Amino acid sequence: MTEQLSVIGLISHASIPVQLVMLSLVAASVYSWTLIAKYRTVHRRAAQDLKNFEEEFWSGADLSSLYQRSQHNNDRQGAEALFYAGFKEFMRLKQKGSSHDFIMEGVTRAMRITLSQEQTRLEGKLPALASIASTAPYVGLFGTVWGIMTSFIGLAQVQQATLATVAPGIAEALIATAIGLFAAIPAVLAYNHFMANSDVLNNKYTMFADEFLGILHREGSY
C-alpha cells in the first residue's frame, strides 16, 4: 500500500492525459527557474554597472574622455549606454552646425530609444513568468479534474468501492494541482520582484538622462 501511494508510483500509474499535464508543468517550472536565474544576473549586473558609471560620471571626468573610453566598451548598458547614445548624437549634430534646439531634440530622441532598449533588456521575457504564474494552477486543476473524473468512471465498474479503491486515483489527480502550484508560486514571486527592480532601475536611468540633458543643454549654449 505504501509503495502504491508513493509519489513516483502515483505518477507512473496516472492516466496519459494527467501525465502530460504533469510533464508540461514540470517543463514550465524548469523554464521559469531558468528565467529567474537569468534575470537575477541581469538585474544585479545592471545595478552594479549603474553605480560604477554614475560614480565615474559625477566625479568630474571630462565628457569627451568618458565618451572615448565608452567607445571601446562594446558591452555598454544602462546609464553608460544612455550617455554614449546622447553624447554621440550631440557631437554628430554639433559638427554638422545644427541649431541648438535641433541638437537637443536629436539627443532626446537618441536617449529615448536607448532607454526603451534598456527597458526591454531588463524586462524582455518577464511576461513569460507572469503567464506561468497565472496559468500553471489552472493547468494543474485541469489535470486534477480529469484524474478525478477518470477515477469515478472506474469506480462505476466496481461492485464495492472502498477507501483503498478511491484513494490512489484521487491522490494521482491532486499531484497535478500540487505541481501546478509548485510552478506558479516561484514564478509570481520572481515576476513581482524583477518588475519592482526594473521600475527602480528605469527611474534611475530616466533621472540620469534628464540630468545629462541639462548638462548638454548648458554645453551647447556656449
Q: Scanning the structure block, which residue is given the C-alpha cell 540620469?
A: 208
| Closest-CA residue to 194 (of 86, 40, 64) | 40
Domain count, the chain: 1
Residue 213 CA: distances (Å) to CA of 6, 34, 65: 64, 38, 18
CA distance linking residue 211 with residue 73, whole number of Å: 23
Q: Which residues of the chain have a pLDDT value below 50?
A: 1-4, 222
CA distance linking residue 180 with residue 109, whole number of Å: 44
Kindly report, residue by residue over 181-210, the tens digit of the pLDDT. 999 999 999 999 999 999 999 999 999 999
The whole-model pTM stands at 0.83
* Domain contains 2: no
* Domain contains 117: yes
Range of the domain at 68: 7-221
The pLDDT of residue 17: 80
* Domain contains 78: yes
* Domain contains 1: no
The pLDDT of residue 187: 95
Q: How many CB atoms are located within 10 Å of the residue 118 CB?
A: 20
The pLDDT of residue 170: 77
* Domain contains 205: yes
